[in-house]
Structure 1
Amino acid sequence: MEKKEAYQILGLSEGASKEQIQKKYNVLIKRYRMSSSDSGEKSPEIDMERVDMAYNLLMGYIVEEPSESRPYKPNPILQKMGVDEKKAKNFLYYYKFHIIGAIILVILAVFFIKDVVFRVPSDLDAAFVGEIYYSDTELFKQNVMSKMPELREMSIDAAIFAEGMDAQMEYAMNMKTVVLFGGGTVDIFLLDKASYEKFGSQGAFENLDNIAGKLKIDEEKSKDLLLKTEEDPEEHLYGIDVSDSKLLKESGIIGERIIAAIRVNAKHHENALRMLELLLE
């Protein structure tokens, strides 16, 4: 069925709005039910199967079939597989965003597995999460390693969010965030405040109360970073504001507010602590 025929079936002029289509469809359903209930049989005046098809086509729920006047050859591969081509096209049209999301997840999983299997063992793993912006993490890596010559290798990952981000990309970044926190390999996180509060309240970060004095943390500036966790009802400091870090600025990393937090039971704890000190210089 083509759109021109669909408009004719519903008795509408071409280009009718979706609101007009919906109203006319409701009228036809009501008329069909009334005539059917009076006679006890299906109304011969209204072919509801064709009405439904026309309605679904004009509302965008199914794909327009090619015109009979145009040459059309069925897909031989789908025929051999016994797949209904029409249903397959409608399925792809309706679930296209779900399929795109699944493809993105598969790609992320492949890169993650490849990274775990083939990468050189790292002495420090860092990750950016949230609304934090940069042009290239390689400069940040070089700057950190130049100040920490004891590092043989450092890895940097990210799950970056931005206002107005495409829904599928946002979904992919959410999935990547789950991987970063669930994988257990990241030693130190650099997060926006919203992400810090979300994961900090879940107990993802190390309590920094004992080293705050040594690091000369401004208690007044850090007051709003005190958090309660699911396991500890008392407030503690789990992150430090490093928004004004010289190291970050030299590396071209910016954000409205950037919080550094060390992961609970970080594998390279001493190196993570040393990087935290560098960020505060």
Structure 2
Amino acid sequence: MDDLKQAYKVLGLKEHASKEEVEKRYSTLVRREKARSKSGDRAGDEEFRQVTVAYRLILAREDEKFTQAFNEKEYGKYKNMAGKAQKLDHFWRYYKIHTLGAIALIGIIIYGIMSYIDHKEHERYLASLPPIDLQVTFMGTFMEENGQEKDLVMNTLMEPFPEWKRLEYSTIFVPQDEMNRYAYLQKALVTVMAEIPDLYLMDKYMFEWLGPQGALLPLDDRPELSAYADGPAALELKTEDDPEGSVYGLDLSKSDLFKDLPMMKVELIAAVRTNAERPDNAVKFIEHYAKTIPSP
């Protein structure tokens, strides 16, 4: 049965009756059918089957009208592209999470590839550089001025050593203010454990913090610095492995380095890392600037 007019006629309704009227009429016919079937009368089975088919046809057409009205409201503005807009909207509603997940996955893959390429490029760049002659770490209240040229500090450190081709440095800032110092010290501790420079340039607080941890090389064992081991610039410390105490740092605050170094600073104490890769160059650096300290 595909004739809508006939469907209304089967239900005993006027054409274009409301959905509520259709529902009410069908409920009445269902109750009658139940009463008839209880009496054992099978003569009306085919008639009720047609009633059910008619009812379903009318509801299906009502649903089509509703869907068409909805689509017209939602996608009518797209005119000839309404069909494609509807399909796209349905796709987005049902597959939004899958689509976003796929986009995120693609983004992660692209990021991983770019990071790998950047890493390889950086490795090639480092391989093209000459070997490091000295690795320096500033630790304490040290700060470069805003807008300062990038290589100014490095060039100042390398200037007395024309035979050196490459010097690298890093800065671990730890403020003088005790209220703010703790968090910075935690970061400094992690860096000390992870990185091994040849030379530390520190303020007095950081020297006294780092020295007892056994991270510094005794300087009074180095013949190049013997002339300064008993002088006013020598700084002694005691450690667990060295209870008698030794010279672990030289105060260069009165040297030319303190005057020439383009950084904000309070004090300048030089020390060599215990397991430094280039301790001889670190000692050479300290010796050069120790010679510029005025005699008492």
Using structure 2 for the length normalisation, give the TM-score.
Answer: 0.49
> Contact 2:196–2:275 (CA<8 Å) still a contact in 1?
no
Which of 124, 134, 139 aligns to 1:129? It is: 139
Measure how far apart 1:240 and its partner are.
Answer: 0.4
Structure 2 match to 1:201: 212
Q: Any residues of structure 2 matched to 1:1-281 within 5 Å, and which?
A: 119=126, 120=129, 121-135=131-145, 136=148, 138-163=151-176, 171=183, 173-211=184-222, 214=225, 216-217=227-228, 219=230, 221-222=232-233, 225-280=235-290, 281=292
- Looking at structure 2, the residues matched to 198 and 256 of structure 1 have their Cα atoms a distance apart, in angstroms, of 16
> Contact 1:192–1:259 (CA<8 Å) still a contact in 2?
yes
Q: Greater share of helix residues, 1 or 2?
A: 2
Aligned length: 170
When residues 192 and 155 of structure 1 are mapped into structure 2, their CA distance, relative to the original with a 3 A threshold, is: same
> Contact 1:191–1:260 (CA<8 Å) still a contact in 2?
yes
- Looking at structure 1, the residues matched to 197 and 191 of structure 2 have their Cα atoms a distance apart, in angstroms, of 7
What SS does the corresponding residue of 1:126 show, helix, strand or coil?
A: strand
Measure how far apart 1:243 and its partner are.
Answer: 0.6
What SS does the corresponding residue of 2:159 show, helix, strand or coil?
A: helix
> Contact 1:228–1:236 (CA<8 Å) still a contact in 2?
yes
One-letter code aligned to 1:148: F
When residues 213 and 125 of structure 1 are mapped into structure 2, their CA distance, relative to the original with a 3 A threshold, is: closer
Which deviates more from structure 2 when the two are superposed, residues 199-208 or residues 265-274?
A: 265-274
Measure how far apart 1:130 and its partner are.
Answer: 0.8
When residues 170 and 235 of structure 1 are mapped into structure 2, their CA distance, relative to the original with a 3 A threshold, is: closer
One-letter code aligned to 1:230: E
> Contact 2:225–2:287 (CA<8 Å) still a contact in 1?
no
Q: Deviations over 1:187-223 (max 9, x none)?
A: 0000111111111111101011123774532735246
One-letter code aligned to 1:256: V
One-letter code aligned to 1:275: F
What SS does the corresponding residue of 2:221 show, helix, strand or coil?
A: helix
One-letter code aligned to 1:271: N
- Looking at structure 2, the residues matched to 195 and 269 of structure 1 have their Cα atoms a distance apart, in angstroms, of 20
Measure how far apart 1:261 and its partner are.
Answer: 0.1
One-letter code aligned to 1:182: M
> Contact 2:144–2:264 (CA<8 Å) still a contact in 1?
yes
What SS does the corresponding residue of 1:156 show, helix, strand or coil?
A: strand
What SS does the corresponding residue of 1:240 show, helix, strand or coil?
A: strand
- Looking at structure 1, the residues matched to 175 and 189 of structure 2 have their Cα atoms a distance apart, in angstroms, of 17
- Looking at structure 1, the residues matched to 166 and 254 of structure 2 have their Cα atoms a distance apart, in angstroms, of 26
- Looking at structure 1, the residues matched to 176 and 275 of structure 2 have their Cα atoms a distance apart, in angstroms, of 32
> Contact 1:243–1:255 (CA<8 Å) still a contact in 2?
no
One-letter code aligned to 1:196: F
One-letter code aligned to 2:196: T
